[in-house]
Amino acid sequence: MTEPARPIRVLLADDEAMVRHGVRLILRHADGIDVVAEAADGHQAVDAAAAHRPDVALVDIRMPVCDGLSAIAPLLALDPAPRVVMLSTFGDEDNVVRALGEGASGFLLKDEGPQELISAVRAAAAGDAVLSPGVTGSVIARMLRGGGSGLARSAVGDERIARLTSREREVLVMLGEGLSNHDIAERLGIGIGTVKTHVGAILDKTGSASRVQAALLAHRAGLVS
């Protein structure tokens, strides 16, 4: 008999107890997800992660003592390191670009729905990048202006898009919309493993170094409005 998969272990870090309570309630009703620890600031988050070894850390940006952005590096220095997803009521470009630059796996706005939060946790645990659609727009806007990573200065030609199959092109558009692998799989009615194969092919064929860079390509090629 096949043993059931180990639940995804989650750490919640937010200085507002009511927010932590709300997120915990949402995740409690999701199959295969356990909230194993909570923290009220960045220092507590790092200590809790070291003690409880979560797979995913949901970390608020604005916290006293040590904010979420400052906690990213020490969280990622742990062994094993959790996948860090930033939570915020703010989706401004500076916070998004800095969080991704520090190594966060994603950025999720707090006004996203319960299913989006659950999908984000599962996607992060699976190694996917997680970006709210609105946040993706901020990243793309910043990069198109040539800020931050410099990806907007890379050459983009129609021949890159021409290398893709029709299904890979569909998936590229969804990357541009900020969808996770889980969301893409549900929309197309295919397995997550198949989506990962398509994403890998897209990155290889277009010479994109990341999902965000592929999303940028989709925008610059006019595939996403």
Q: CATH number of the domain that 194 lies in?
A: 1.10.10.10
Out of 140, 170, 187, a domain closes at 140
Domain assignment present for 225: no
Mean pLDDT for all residues in the chain: 85
Domain assignment present for 146: no
pLDDT digits (tens, 9 = 90+) for 8-56: 999 999 999 999 999 999 999 899 999 999 999 999 999 999 999 999 9
pLDDT digits (tens, 9 = 90+) for 6-15: 899 999 999 9
d(CA 39, CA 150) in angstroms, rounded, equals 34
Query: Are residues 116 and 198 both part of a single domain?
Result: no
What is the edge-to-edge ordering of all strands in the sheet holding 83-88? 33-39, 8-13, 56-60, 83-88, 106-109, 130-131
Domain assignment present for 149: no
Q: Among all chains, which residue has been given the structure tokens 């994603």? A: 106
pTM: 0.70
Residues 6+ apart with CB under 8 A from 19: 60, 110
Widest CA span in the chain: 54
d(CA 30, CA 66) in angstroms, rounded, equals 30
Per-residue b or e along 176-207, where b marks 16 or more CB atoms closer than 10 Å to that residue's CB: bbbbbbbbbbeeeeeebeebbebbebbbebbe
Query: Are residues 130 and 160 both part of a single domain?
Result: no
pLDDT digits (tens, 9 = 90+) for 175-208: 888 787 888 999 999 998 899 899 989 988 988 7
Query: Are residues 15 and 97 both part of a single domain?
Result: yes
Model confidence at 153: pLDDT above 60: no
DSSP E strand boundaries for the chain:
8-13, 33-39, 56-60, 83-88, 106-109, 130-131
pLDDT digits (tens, 9 = 90+) for 83-142: 999 998 877 778 887 887 788 888 888 888 898 899 889 988 887 777 776 666 666 666
Q: CATH number of the domain that 35 lies in?
A: 3.40.50.2300
Domain assignment present for 205: yes
Q: What is the residue range of 30's domain?
A: 8-140
Cα-Cα end-to-end distance for the chain: 48
63 to 30, 90, 186, 221: CA distances (angstroms) = 26, 13, 35, 38
Q: Looking at the 3D structure of the chain, how many domains does it have?
A: 2
